[in-house]
Structure 1
Amino acid sequence: MPSMIHPNMNSNKLPVNYPHWLAGLKKQIASAQQRAALAVNQELIRLYWQLGFDILQRQAEQGWGSKVIEQLSRDLKQAFPDLKGLSRSNLLYMRAFAEAWPDFNDNDAIVQQAVGQIPWGHNLVLLTKLKTPEQRLWYARKTIAHGWSRNVLVHQIESALMQREGQAVSNFSRNLPDPQSELAQATLKDPYIFDFLSIGAEARERDIEQALKQHITQFLLELGAGFAYVGRQVELNVGGDVFYLDLLFYHLKLRCYVVVELKTGDFKPEHTGQLSFYLSAVDAQIKSGQDAPSIGLLLCKTRNKLVAEYALRDNNKPIGVAEYQLAQALPADLENQLPSIEQIERELEGD
């Protein structure tokens, strides 16, 4: 009787294609887990909205006071002892959530696809740190797109990312094709906040470069999604003369190298000439045929916007100019936003 053992198998060895099959199974399981977690979160957010909406309605119709909320919290905890998040404070946050999104349950795809897909803790950050639905939706979408943790979301709000993104002076619209020029513009900020660096305001360029390298994770977070670190003081040999790039990155979505030059003083028009030269050298020596033209970013301590615009007007290399700050005070419109996320966490820990 012929053997039924497959030629690719024996009794002591795994099939040749087993690792590939296993990798595929792991991917399927991880994807299913992610979908299940997302579905559970969406149902929880929907439940919290419904509870908050009911409280809002009864307060408006029947004049419910704080004692009713306290009693409701005790009764719900007794009925569902294993369910967290039923404290008086969290019930009040549910009320605030329903008040902030009155149309959440009316098949409002825009709201549900944003705030309905992020965890409750993230939604509390949006409620307590931001004032308008437009701001909350913007940060909710960014959270989903980039997978921000709650701490990262807090940092991005407190650094006013929405107001800074896409604000650098550039000549991208003249030197890059659409839609790359729009994406490149949206990629840059003004100003960049380097408040994670423990160096003084009078630090030299090399000091800042070294500090940024040592804090590369925070630096990449501030640069934004898509940046991959290539190196610091990258050497270029041009006709026997040696030059050094302050910082070199590769942007995965733009598919191009990004040369970052740091200037500790005011922006000067001659800075664009130096950076243009570096971009030409990178395009000639490092860039591959599949890469898009390299982009330059000049980071200056201060810059006159009109001077920067004039300096870039007739420059044929794609360059952006932005300021950087070594320390950032909390924006005035956020200073009095209470309670803080730390207070929220302490209250919820007591559930």
Structure 2
Amino acid sequence: MQVEKQNLYTKVIELLNRARQNVVQTINNTMAMTYFEIGKMIVEEEQDGKEKAEYGKQILRELSERLVSEFGKGFSETNLKQMRYFYLTYSIRQTVSDEFENNEILETSPKTSDSIQQTMPAQFKLTWSHYLKLMRITDVNERNFYEIEAIKNNWSLRELQRQFDSALYTRLALSKNKEEVLSLGQKGQIIEKSKDLIKDPYVLEFLGLPEQNFYSESELEQKLIDKLEHFLLELGNGFTFVARQKRITFEERHFKIDLVFYNRILKCFVLIDLKIGELKHQDIGQMQMYVNYFDREVKLEDENKTIGIILCQDKSESVVRYTLPENNEQIFASKYLTVLPSEKDFIKIIEN
């Protein structure tokens, strides 16, 4: 009987939490759609004006005064300008790509009034604050990418800001051809093969470690475990944590793999080794051994080949290229940064 009661409590709590989330989502959708409609009305009124520039200022000033007196300070001239820009930015396209919207959004979107539905190019799934941030991204493909990823991964505004500051779009785009880069802006990050998981560099500024290597590999590992939720977000879609310092033994010799994850999308283990300083060819050989062991002794028949990622402070591309086979699809070496670079520094890192 006690177990039945506990099951009932759990089910009721889950139901209430889902209902709460749905209410919040509905409010966010309605706010964004309403602001879009206000922006549309302002633009259409301006287009009808004879002296557009001055007429536009007058419209915003008078409308703001009326709305502030009735609804409060959320309708200042500045906010109305943002709503106007919101419409101008999003009216020329759907909020996300056709494929993503049709498959992911319209099926779950709450119903809205006919007047708004007829003028809206698509449903909005993020908060107004998210869209204020997205509107400041001038490149359309990049803006689309962050919008799709924020929706898919339920990013908070803070996480959206962090992913943008860490140049996630640029880091993913570096290893892709033109068609694949375009796809980022249409579908977001799609993981179909091992290389799709990899970023270079990884940005670990959330650890609070100094830029210099005044810390040990064990301290770096402990920090990553302490901030595991943040690290999983940086790793990307589909990762679950399996183990740290995973011991493997053969011929009475013991080895320890720093971190073991599993990627549910690719259905494979992902091994991560942490290195302070410059990557050596011996480090790559060690990871090759770990990957081979997992492939032969741990993975199941229906699982895909193990992926190994070596995170290092510095690396020689030549050492990596000549140590690994030409058709390598399992072992990758990426730099990691423990501080968030300035935009100027990021450009240098990417160019190098």
Smaller-chain TM-score range? 0.7 to 0.9
Shift of 1:148: 0.5
- Output the amino acid matched with 1:124: L
Which secondary structure does the structure 1 equivalent of 2:192 belong to? helix
Please give the alpha-carbon distance, in whole angstroms, between the structure 1 residues aligned to 2:96 and 2:238: 33
Residue 75 of structure 1 corresponds to which residue in structure 2?
Answer: 66
C-alpha distance in structure 2 between counterparts of 1:189 and 1:288, whole Å: 27
Instruction: Say which SS state the counterpart of residue 141 (structure 1) adopts.
Output: helix
Report the count of equivalent residues: 309
Distance change in 2, residues 1:281/1:166 (3 Å): farther
Structure 2 residue identity aligned to 1:134: N
- Aligned twin of 1:331: 343
CA distance in 2, matches of 1:18, 1:326: 48
Q: Could you tell me how far 1:301 is from its partner in structure 2?
A: 1.4
The corresponding residue for 2:127 is 119
State the distance in 2 between where 1:208 and 1:65 align: 55
Q: Distance in 2 between matches of 1:185 and 1:126?
A: 27
Deviations 1:14-33 (A, max 9, x none): 9x977767766766665566
Instruction: Point out where structure 2 has 5 or more consecutive residues left out of the alignment.
Output: 106-121, 177-189, 348-352
**Contact kept? 2:258, 2:273, Cα under 8 Å:** yes
Out of 152-161 and 202-211, give the one that drifted further: 202-211
Aligned partner of 1:99 among 79, 85, 88: 88
1:280 CA displacement:
2.0
1:157 equivalent among 149, 160, 164: 164
Alignment match, 1:342: none
- The aligned runs of 1:105-144 (5 Å cut-off) are 109=98, 113=105, 116-128=124-136, 130-144=137-151
SS in 2 for 1:323: strand
Contact 2:274-2:310 at 8 Å conserved across structures: yes
Query: Residues 88 and 333 from structure 1, CA distance in 2 versus in 1: closer, same or farther, beyond 3 angstroms?
Result: farther
- The 3 A distance-change label for structure 1 pair 181 and 155 is closer
Q: What are the residue-to-residue correspondences of 1:178-257 with 2, within 5 Å?
A: 182-200=192-210, 201-203=212-214, 204-257=216-269
Task: After TM superposition, give the deviation of residue 103 of structure 1 in Å.
Answer: 2.8
Alignment check: 8 A CA contact 2:217 2:275 kept: yes
What is the CA distance between 1:270 and its match in structure 2?
3.2
Q: The residue matched to 2:43 in structure 1 has which SS?
A: helix
Higher relative contact order (CA 8 A, sep 6+): 1
Residues 110 and 245 from structure 1, CA distance in 2 versus in 1: closer, same or farther, beyond 3 angstroms? Answer: closer
- The structure-2 alpha-carbon separation of the partners of 1:214 and 1:116, relative to structure 1 and needing over 3 Å to count, comes to same
Deviations 1:176-223 (A, max 9, x none): xxxx98343222211001112233312332232222222222222211
Look up the match of 1:148.
Answer: 155
1:46/1:105 contact within 8 Å kept: no
Give 2:305's match in structure 1, choosing from 287, 293, 296. 293
1:331 to 1:108, Cα distance in 2 relative to 1, 3 A: closer
1:89 aligns with 2:78: yes
Which residue of 300, 322, 326 corresponds with 1:310? 322
Matched, 1:50 2:37: yes
Give the distance between the partners of 2:96 and 2:334, measured in 1 at CA. 41
Runs of 5+ unmatched residues, structure 1 = 1-12, 170-179, 336-351
Task: Report the CA distance shift for 1:117/1:107 in structure 2 as closer, same or farther (over 3 A).
Answer: closer
* TM-score normalised over the length of structure 2: 0.75
Q: Over residues 154-194 of structure 1, what are the superposed CA-to-partner deviations in whole Å (9 max), with x where a residue is unaligned?
A: 0000100011127579xxxxxxxxxx983432222110011
Q: Distance in 2 between matches of 1:281 and 1:149?
A: 39
8 Å CA contact 1:190, 1:322 repeated in 2 = yes
Alpha-carbon contact 1:194-1:219 (below 8 Å) kept: yes
Are the structure 2 counterparts of residues 256 and 138 from structure 1 closer, same or farther at C-alpha, using a change threshold of 3 Å?
same
Counterpart of 1:196 in 2: which secondary structure? Answer: helix
Q: Alignment partner for residue 263 of structure 1, among 275, 283, 298?
A: 275
**Alpha-carbon distance in 2 for matches of 1:185, 1:166:** 12
Structure 2 Cα separation of the partners of residues 333 and 60 of structure 1? 43
Matched residues in 2 for 1:190 and 1:100: separation? 31
Code of the residue aligned with 1:163 in structure 2: it is T
Aligned partner of 1:44: which letter? M
**Alpha-carbon offset, residue 306 of structure 1:** 4.3
State the 1:54 CA deviation. 2.4
Displacement of 1:240 after TM fit? Answer: 0.4
What's the offset of the Cα at 1:55? 2.0
What is the CA distance between 1:146 and its match in structure 2? Answer: 0.5
Q: Distance in 2 between matches of 1:143 and 1:301?
A: 29
Q: Could you say which structure has the higher helix fraction? A: 2
Shift of 1:293: 2.2
